[in-house]
Amino acid sequence: MHNTNLMNHMLSEDDVTNNMLNALKRGEASVIVTPEKFSKKGVTEYPILEFDEEALELLRLGIVNTLKYSKIVPNGGKAYECTKRMFDIAASAAALAVLAVPIGIAALVIYIDDKGNPFFSQVRLTKNGKPFRMYKLRTMCMDAEARFAEVQKENQSDGLAFKSDSDPRITRVGGFLRKTSIDELPQLWNVLKGDMSLIGPRPPLPREVVLYTPKQMERLLVKGGLSCICQTEGRSDMAFDEWVKGDLRYIKTRSAKVDLKLMIKTVQAVVMRKGAK
């Protein structure tokens, strides 16, 4: 994919969205944003906030076409992939059995707090842009997705992912669940299903991926995971460019030994709440 800056600042949000969808349909998957939408703090306005099935398929095709030109060859052969999958199944099944009660208690607390569904699912992208629904314990109000347009300008990250320390959508118990990473536990079900792996680049949102450069898109050369290098070295504290470099370093060097080390470091990072927000 390549970047195309629209210099006309008079475009409405609908115009930008329609232009982006038309670009996807042409197979260009161009980044259509105006210069003021980027700053050192990162993206403050996303061209498309909602993706239907057609847009997701067009985006996937654009990703596949872009990755054809990547010079990175993921490390590990078929034996590694098979071993990795078997370990993911065994480990996630065991973890879900042990953590079923804590997850249930957290879900009950969330429900008592605002009487809403304690679980939340969101479309994310994994290997080659394949979309899937990633599960979490809900840490925001029920209409958080609909209210994203209101808060996107408050982005405090330096990259494409949205982060805000004062996000008004976070519930009373949501902050605690995020800092302790308890909200991520339902993703063990995604691992068991095969949507994700225990170790791999964190699956991004479609609205982030449409803004990726070809280099950043190489994060999608392998299946996404619960944790990777950046989650063990600072998580929210890490700059986006460093995040991407860490993911690509993992892709180039991944092995059973590397995965095991990252699992141990992930547990340590969670216990110490390193970079958790």
Strands (E), the chain: 3-5, 31-33, 119-125, 131-137, 197-199, 225-227
**8 in a structural domain:** no
Amino acid at 270: V
**Number of domains observed in the structure of the chain:** 1
Give me the sign of the Cα torsion angle 233, 236, 239, 241.
positive
Q: How far is CA 52 from CA 21, 147, 149, in A?
A: 11, 18, 17
Does this model's pTM top 0.85? My answer is no
Q: What is the pLDDT of residue 38?
A: 44
Question: What domain range is 147 assigned to?
Answer: 74-271
Both tokens of 173, joined, read 């118990």
Tens-level pLDDT at each residue, the chain (277 residues): 444 333 333 334 455 455 556 655 555 444 444 434 444 456 777 777 788 999 999 999 999 999 999 999 999 999 999 999 999 999 999 999 999 999 999 999 999 999 999 999 999 999 999 999 999 999 999 988 888 877 877 766 666 777 777 788 989 899 999 989 999 999 999 999 999 999 999 999 998 999 899 999 999 999 999 999 998 886 666 788 889 999 999 999 999 999 999 999 999 888 886 655 5
